[in-house]
Chain A
Amino acid sequence: MTATVRIPTQLRPLTGGAGEVAATGSTVGEVLKALDAAHPGLGERLFDEAGKLRRFVNVFVADEDIRFLQGLETPVAPAATVSIIPAVAGG
Chain B
Amino acid sequence: MKELKVLGPGCPRCNQLAAAVDMAARQLGIEYELTKVTDIGEITGFGVMLTPALVIDGEVAFQGKVPTPDELKEIIG
Whether chain B is bound by chain A comes out as no
B residues at A contact (CB < 8 Å): none
